[in-house]
Structure 1
């Protein structure tokens, strides 16, 4: 029986979902068909911060799971709210692609002239870029990758910042002028990773989808997301986190930046991958003791 995989209708979402579908078929022999779902986040023109965050991309797909119209769904992991939904389970987190942010434009970031206009819809990216270059104008933008890159091509903006993984999946690496390392721009928790969800009660599917799971990626993104959750920060807060599981040790670094880019709290911690949750909580507590919650201010709930 063919499995129905629910996906947002954007080109990037469909591309990502097709990767998961192909991997699923390759490993299990089961046919998978994509089912496009339009989410509120796709049709509204409001900015994410006004919408109450990333759940706007997720809830419609979860509704389709509940209604039995799809068997499982694929999300960008960074779009997944940190608050668990008891109806669904995160059945698999495939191996992560590039976790970093990328600048699409004609020249690298350091070569942009003062007053250049750089577009991004992310308060995290704006705060971190502002810390590097306060002389640049940061323009909030929304829309899919094509729409955003089009603003550079048309000359409306000098550059835009997008996730490197998305650009690679879309085959648009050639348009990247620079990739930011994590000491320049700390990625969003879970960036570059995908989330495969199904109903918690579908034990057959939970077991079946487990073949897609990458334990190292799961340990890393679990720690990153715990930091975000423990800081009580929404997706719109200027919080970045990145963890790497080398097989023995999980190394976690997180960064909170003031919205104006002038102050920051950065902390690192390491521990066994099996203690990813505890490590995330420990790091968040240390950051709060150093004033991270004050820096987030109006962006935390």
Structure 2
């Protein structure tokens, strides 16, 4: 069977452990450029190593990923309920039901190198009721184009992500040039921090699969991937920044409590102490359900 752009494939040499989309073919049709369906990974592979996955095979592999996604979503909702009850108690003076209030969660600017991943992330943000502005942008364009967007959108939280990969043939793990896109993420974070130097003024998540974690944190990212140089799930950045968005600005976030909600865990993502961005206000007059008290700006 011939391989064509858009096919869902697995790599025979890796026992077809991950699903990939074929995004490009070489002129001689001997090599394919691949993008992970669920993991933020890009790779090149010989056509002869690829296996087109049929519907049943795709469903079998996606079933395990979906279970992990459901677990992360459930953990986040549990944390959200605890945060909401704590905030409700504080805002209403100890559950004084005569008091009314509203919530202003932190606003997110999510810049993604993959339009497919961006669409999935925006769907989850909407499900979690997080205010977000999303845009697709190639990783190599981010250093030049992110700062003007920040001035236009004025977010509390910035996500710069997409694809990445460590390429062993280009150098050791500490060599930034051995990574497909880490250098672009690092430069973007460094330039943003020149204008927004305080970690609690603008929270930054940066990186993708196998990204150079240490360089991203040194550049000024609050959270980044990937300490263990492992693949991260496409939705992991959403769970990180949603936790920050819904945590009160008077509270600091325990890093481990954030990481436990992600699909990848501590091998895939790390970070530093960070302050939340949620603010409460009052009064508000509404007969709608409780979720209407969250105002997205």
TM-score range with shorter-chain normalisation?
under 0.3
Question: TM-score scaled by structure 2?
Answer: 0.28
- Quick check: which one's strand share is greater? 1
